[in-house]
């Protein structure tokens, strides 16, 4: 190995909010929605101005912000979004739009995607459609962190199983927020996704054909081995270029 380095590629982070009447529940003088909003805005305002992350915001009415490089502007968009919770109807539209964002090309090809899907309990129609959207998330390789805003009893209800499956299958996490729990840390979701490791090594391959590559890491605190990967490589002879007659 000639070089081993860590690259901070950043994350394309989309928050999808499917607001509904249950988010208007008041605990200790504040609605569940406002608790979540406050946590999001506070976190966004604390991000450095030169953050490599990209931010988007999708709600029931559509895509409010897309591919913002400024966490401050994203925080402002969050703060300005004030849905009428009692008249809002829970929808899969925000999550569908978030998946569209995850399928877009990023400024850095090494950048990963993550979706935070905040929703009230899904309707019957939503539960029927969720498996297809779950498959899309898995195919895109985007982890979906699902926050269900509902009383604790909903976490074990059969109607919520598609949301739990969405989180588990995509590599995200499921969280049931009734207004009294501590909200998870956004950094615990995004920090592991921000970095990639780059390895440069001198290859001993001298001919075209099918070859194999394996990876072994030895460290005082870690020993890991990656199963052998086979690949096909076509080597071409050098093409000399005449620079001067």
pLDDT at 3: 66
Candidates 175, 178, 123; CA nearest to 150 is: 178
How many CA within 13 A on the CB side of residue 101? 31
User: What is the average per-residue pLDDT within 167-179?
Assistant: 97
> For 59-160, where are the alpha helices, taking DSSP H only?
71-80, 93-103, 124-140
* Confidence check: pLDDT of 205 > 90: no
Least confident of 47-56, 115-124, 224-233: 224-233
pLDDT at 114: 97
pLDDT at 244: 66
- Percent of the chain whose predicted confidence (pLDDT) is above 90: 70
Mean pLDDT score of the chain: 91
The CA-CA-CA angle for residues 149, 153, 158, to 5°, reads: 90
Q: Which DSSP letter does residue 24 get?
A: G
CA distance linking residue 44 with residue 63, whole number of Å: 18
User: What is the average per-residue pLDDT within 106-116?
Assistant: 90
pLDDT at 241: 76
How does pLDDT run across 16-59, given as a tens digit for each residue?
A: 999 999 999 999 899 999 999 999 999 999 999 999 999 999 99
CA distance linking residue 14 with residue 224, whole number of Å: 32
Parallel, antiparallel, or unpaired for β 144-149 and 174-177?
parallel
* Confidence check: pLDDT of 143 > 70: yes
Would you state the torsion angle of the CA atoms of residues 149, 76, 172, 198, taken in this order, to the nearest 10 degrees? -170
pLDDT at 5: 67
pLDDT at 160: 94
CA distance linking residue 74 with residue 44, whole number of Å: 7
User: What is the average per-residue pLDDT within 78-94?
Assistant: 95
* Confidence check: pLDDT of 199 > 90: no
CA distance linking residue 169 with residue 141, whole number of Å: 10
228 pLDDT band, cuts 50/70/90, is confident
pLDDT at 85: 96
Q: Which residue has the higher pLDDT, 186 or 207?
A: 186
Cα 226 to the chain's mean position, in Å? Answer: 25
* Confidence check: pLDDT of 97 > 90: yes
Q: Token pair for residue 156? A: 């074990």
Q: Which residue has the higher pLDDT, 162 or 6?
A: 162
């Amino acid at each position: 190995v000639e070089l081993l380095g860590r690259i901070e590629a950043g994350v394309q982070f989309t928050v999808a909010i499917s607001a509904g009447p249950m988010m208007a529940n008041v605990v200790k003088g504040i609605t569940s929605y406002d608790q979540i909003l406050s946590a999001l805005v506070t976190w966004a305002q604390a991000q450095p101005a030169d953050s490599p992350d990209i931010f988007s915001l999708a709600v029931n009415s559509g895509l409010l912000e897309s591919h913002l490089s400024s966490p401050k502007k994203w925080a402002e968009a969050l703060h300005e979004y004030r849905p009428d919770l009692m008249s809002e109807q829970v929808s899969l539209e925000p999550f569908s739009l978030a998946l569209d964002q995850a399928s877009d090309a990023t400024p850095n090809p090494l950048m990963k995607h993550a979706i935070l899907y905040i929703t009230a309990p899904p309707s019957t129609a939503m539960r029927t459609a969720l498996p297809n959207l779950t498959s899309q998330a898995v195919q895109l390789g985007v982890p979906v962190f699902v926050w269900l805003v509902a009383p604790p009893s909903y976490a074990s209800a059969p109607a919520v199983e598609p949301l739990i499956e969405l989180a588990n299958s995509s590599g995200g996490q499921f969280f049931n927020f009734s207004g009294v729990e501590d909200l998870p840390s956004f950094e615990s979701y995004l920090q592991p996704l921000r970095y990639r490791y780059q390895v440069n090594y001198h290859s001993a391959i001298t001919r075209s054909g099918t070859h194999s590559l394996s990876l072994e890491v030895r460290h005082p605190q870690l020993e890991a081995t990656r199963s052998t990967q086979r690949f096909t490589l076509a080597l071409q002879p050098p093409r000399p270029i005449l620079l001067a007659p």
